[in-house]
Chains A and B, each alone.
Chain A
């Protein structure tokens, strides 16, 4: 149980275009989802917290107009990188949680974004 999927797992896009990443909780309802960015050999950096039906809360330094987050249902959150630039190339990971009575987050497999 507690499986989170992400799609796509790998995407290449051209500079100036937008790309959408989907995060789904497959076997549970997630009122809260989190989006992280991870650079090579570094830890996870929280970008934003999204709650179903409300606006996302962004961490300091994260451009909300560049990283659009939508959490339209209890099983789906999306991250759209708008007007992507090479410096946006990174590994993006989503997580969902918690399940009733538990406090851990369950992570998706991640999406590798390469902007050329």
Chain B
């Protein structure tokens, strides 16, 4: 079984600035996968970025990047050049392979201000 913890219920960032959302996890598996999903007001879950645990290199997708610290079991999301459209609920999640269930954190609500 795995657990995912997001300790920041809410965060706020000014437009064009950078913000980092925190996530820690715990799993007994050696092979696992980590994700950040975004849920805007429409409530459609959107995959932001994913990281395979066996890869040392941090994943990057345009303005989104992660800081994956395997030993510390930490998986933070950095959003650069924040935009109004980034305002959403962000969920950190973990699974342990194909067709396995996702374990979600409690989420961080991100506000983007002008």
Contact = CB atoms under 8 A, between A and B. Distances in A.
Interface of A: 31-32, 34, 38, 42-44, 46, 49, 51, 91, 93, 95, 97-98, 103-107, 109-110
Nearest to A91: B43
The 9 closest A-B pairs by CB, nearest first: A107-B45, A32-B99, A103-B33, A43-B104, A109-B44, A43-B106, A110-B43, A98-B98, A44-B104
A107 B104 CA distance: 14
A103 B101 CA distance: 10
A63 to B, nearest CB: 18
Interface of B: 33, 35, 37, 42-47, 50, 52, 91, 95, 97-99, 101-102, 104-107
Nearest to A31: B99
Nearest to A38: B43
A42 B39 CA distance: 11
Contacts of B107: 42-43
Nearest to B32: A103
Given A34-B101, A103-B33, A103-B98, A44 B43 contact: no
Contacts of B97: 103
Given A42-B107, A93-B45, A103-B97, 12 more contacts: A34-B101, A42-B106, A43-B105, A43-B106, A44-B102, A51-B99, A91-B43, A95-B45, A105-B95, A107-B37, A109-B43, A109-B44
A32 B37 CA distance: 19
